[in-house]
Amino acid sequence: MQYADDTLIVCEAETTGVAALKEILHRFATVTGLTINFSKSSMVPINVGERETAEFQRILQFQKVEKFLPGWKAKLLNYAGRTVLVNAVLDSVPVYLMSVLDLPQGIIEKIEQRRRAFLWTGEDKVSGANCLVAWDNVCKSKEEGGLGLKKLRLRNKSLLLNWLHNLHQSDSPWADWVWKQLTNEAPCRSENLGNHWNSLAKLLPEYRNFTNSSVMDGRCTSFWFDKWLDHLPLAVKYKALLSHSTTKHTTVRQAIRLGPGQQLVHRLSSVAQAQLQELLQHLQTFQLREGADIRSHNLGKPETKLTTSQCYKSLQAGDKGPNYGFIWKNRAPPRVRFFTWLLSKDRLPTRNNLIVNKIVDSASCPICDSTWEDGDHLFLQCPFAVALWSALGFAPTTSSVRELHSISKPSGLIAREFKTFFILCFWRIWTHRNDVVFNKLQPCKKRLLQQCVQDVTL
């Protein structure tokens, strides 16, 4: 399979086959004069043991998917930098495979483990104590309170949904071949076309939820399960009638030519009989026409091309988080916005959180040494923080770091900058706290005030 200037080659996990592949590539380079850079090529073993993987890698001299990230100096990167690399590297490596194959759950979990470990530690593995936020929450969109990382299972599904749409819209050789194979009750159920088609067929119900069919010849539209006659599928509108159907997996073309009544059991219930009469009335003026059925979607403007991003958003749709605008719509540096995201969830490594994992013995505040150190206390309630806000002349109008969105604009600050002002002050309180804990410095309001003023001025 080729895409742009990339080539994907799939072969069986056998030493002789891998060696033959390497020889073929060498001969290709000799004949064409094109040099293949094996050190920049990647190998993705699927259900292959470590010993066999090492042997294949020795023969091919390829990298594996796990080798992409350690080359980056991960430990030198902050969380925001690692987030960018997770999106740019580990998310993109399996895209070609996920575009055409339903990856096994074990493969998905393995890659997810690497992504999670790299984000939180920059290492190959990570323990639960190092994961400051649950991975499901990390993989939510920023609007929903996450970091915007993609869930690989949903991304795999969205890429396959796009393939399904291409099948219904495209005149490619692949689409033509599929429709020629689906001769009996296409496209409603899986025929004997292998695992690839089976994985696509499982997604047909979800695909039909956000698409409509403008029927022409009726060959590619399901009579019962597609939305073609109304805004609802006939299977939903006429449930009783569907239960009496002898060929539920039939196309509009077949049903219209034979007549809907010819594909039902002989004895109908009174409800099914009434529904049949209503359906026949709707079909009186309907006629098949020349040409292929036209698919449209409702995930955006119907006339626009369906994108993988639209499919993904439809699968992940959730409620918008209240703190999105405060955290991400400002001019603070990326690492400071990442810090604010953790702050909004009260998941910073404060002593209140560390004591749960038995990392520290005491949860008392290292600045005032009075009460438990959590986000609310350190940034809003600690006498030291209260004195800082008083000296600055602007105090956050919230009692909880989980409700940063409730901070209102002070009269003395510019509207577009007040979020940045408070975020940078929160950041400086945190770095000052770390200086006290790790560098053994004494709490100093004057020093902290100068740092806040300097950051805001810049």
What confidence tens digit (pLDDT) does each residue in 83-135 have?
998 888 778 888 888 888 888 899 899 999 989 999 998 888 888 888 999 99
State mean pLDDT over 340-348.
96
88 in a structural domain: no
Lowest mean pLDDT among 40-44, 182-186, 203-207, 244-248: 182-186
My answer on whether 295 and 162 are in the same domain is yes
pLDDT attached to residue 73: 60
Instruction: Give the pLDDT confidence of 422-447 residue by residue, as tens digits.
Output: 999 999 999 999 999 999 999 999 99
Average pLDDT over the chain reads 87
Q: Is 294 a residue whose pLDDT tops 50?
A: yes
Token pair, residue 84, equals 């960018």
My answer on whether 358 and 311 are in the same domain is no
Q: Is 66 a residue whose pLDDT tops 70?
A: no
pLDDT attached to residue 184: 46
Last residue of one domain, picked from the residues 294, 315, 336: 315
CA-based nearest residue to 114, from 94, 129, 100: 94
78 in a structural domain: no
The rounded distance, in Å, linking the Cα atoms of 326 and 403 is 10
386: domain range?
324-457
119 in a structural domain: no
Last residue of one domain, picked from the residues 44, 67, 90: 67
86 in a structural domain: no
pLDDT attached to residue 189: 54
The domain tally of the chain equals: 3
Lowest mean pLDDT among 331-335, 343-347, 370-374: 370-374
My answer on whether 352 and 330 are in the same domain is yes
My answer on whether 275 and 375 are in the same domain is no
My answer on whether 343 and 288 are in the same domain is no
My answer on whether 170 and 310 are in the same domain is yes
My answer on whether 288 and 344 are in the same domain is no
pLDDT attached to residue 125: 85
State mean pLDDT over 277-291.
91
Instruction: Give the pLDDT confidence of 182-200 residue by residue, as tens digits.
Output: 654 455 554 566 677 778 8
Confidence of residue 414 (pLDDT cuts 50, 70, 90): confident
94 in a structural domain: no
Q: Is 219 a residue whose pLDDT tops 90?
A: no
Amino acid at the residue 282: H
151 in a structural domain: no
Confidence of residue 63 (pLDDT cuts 50, 70, 90): low
pLDDT attached to residue 183: 59
The rounded distance, in Å, linking the Cα atoms of 216 and 232 is 18
pLDDT attached to residue 185: 47
CA-based nearest residue to 121, from 132, 110, 112: 132
Cis before 187 (ω within 30): yes
The rounded distance, in Å, linking the Cα atoms of 227 and 431 is 57
The rounded distance, in Å, linking the Cα atoms of 134 and 311 is 24
**For residues 140 and 303, which has the higher predicted lDDT (pLDDT)?**
140
439 in a structural domain: yes
62 in a structural domain: yes
CA-based nearest residue to 155, from 98, 205, 202: 98
My answer on whether 183 and 277 are in the same domain is yes
My answer on whether 328 and 261 are in the same domain is no
Last residue of one domain, picked from the residues 46, 67, 88: 67
pLDDT attached to residue 275: 94
State mean pLDDT over 16-35.
86
My answer on whether 296 and 334 are in the same domain is no
My answer on whether 190 and 295 are in the same domain is yes
Confidence of residue 458 (pLDDT cuts 50, 70, 90): low
The residues near 341 (Cβ < 8 Å, ≥ 6 apart) are 147, 327
The rounded distance, in Å, linking the Cα atoms of 218 and 288 is 7
State mean pLDDT over 365-386.
92
State mean pLDDT over 407-419.
88
My answer on whether 365 and 240 are in the same domain is no
* pTM for the predicted model, two decimal places: 0.78
